[in-house]
A and B are shown apart, each in its own frame.
Chain A
């Protein structure tokens, strides 16, 4: 059975274990932004600023991860009308390399050869390729 009363040594050791400190977050909001926060909290049935910030953070984190993967964030109305979210700060995390898309003309024989190579095992890199990747 464990002792009912902890020894002084055990208590001292426990006190040294670091606990995750909660950060305080303070923001200066313009009256219109403050009002927007209040309206959103009401709409979302939130009572605390902490819950509000936690949800906003989760949403922003998701948006950043999608944009980082090169995905677009799109809203679609019931009639199928689509709008793409363009948020300048999010665009900063979009992939640096964005290449346009083109169509290539393929013959049936070329396509057969392509799919055969693409579905097979990759070949070993040549010396020139290894040198190129080392450059």
Chain B
């Protein structure tokens, strides 16, 4: 299976997508294209097989966001630059269950992180945030995402990954490639 990851296109087949989670299925079927093209609140990237280039096997959605500096607790503000904190939101990530266990999730998050680095290089961004289902938090933690503390039991867990950590991973890759 030769997988390509590219921006979602209008003619992509999304109706048959089933990751086992209805809100994630529904987002791809009903909202991803509209949110990308019409209201511009998120860009969805689809994983497709070279042999069936219209069938979406997995996807992720990215958007930018920021936290106004005045929302941070006073005791931390002093150490921060006088700007809002820019970040990237990994809003959705899902793999069709018929293709789970084939490394698609890894390929998707890999692409999402590479895009994050490109955005950070082009326009600046401090971290990537995702809102993970509690049972998926461990999967994100493998990639270095750290859980944010929350006040009460919620249906999702916000997680943080520093862009500098991602950049370090890239330079680790470069130095190991140079050694070869």
Contacts and interface: CB of A to CB of B under 8 A. Distances in A.
- Interface range, B side: 35 or more
B56 interface: no
For the residues of B in contact with A, the DSSP-based class is mixed
Contacts of B135: none
Interface of A: 69-70, 95-97, 99-104, 106-119, 122-126, 128-135
Nearest to A114: B148
B76 A125 contact: no
B73 A133 contact: no
B122 A128 contact: no
Interface of B: 40-43, 62-67, 71-73, 76-77, 79-80, 85, 88-89, 91, 106-107, 109-110, 113-115, 118-119, 122-123, 126-127, 129, 142-144, 146, 148-151, 158, 160, 162, 164-166, 168-170, 172-173
What 8 A-B pairs are tightest by C-beta distance, nearest first? A125-B169, A122-B164, A132-B110, A95-B122, A113-B149, A70-B123, A113-B148, A122-B162
B173 A133 contact: yes
19 contacts: A70-B123, A97-B118, A97-B119, A99-B43, A100-B63, A102-B41, A109-B151, A110-B158, A112-B76, A113-B149, A114-B148, A122-B164, A122-B165, A125-B169, A125-B172, A133-B166, A133-B169, A133-B173, A135-B110
Nearest to A128: B142
A131 B158 CA distance: 23
B173 A130 contact: yes
B67 A111 contact: yes
B102 to A, nearest CB: 14
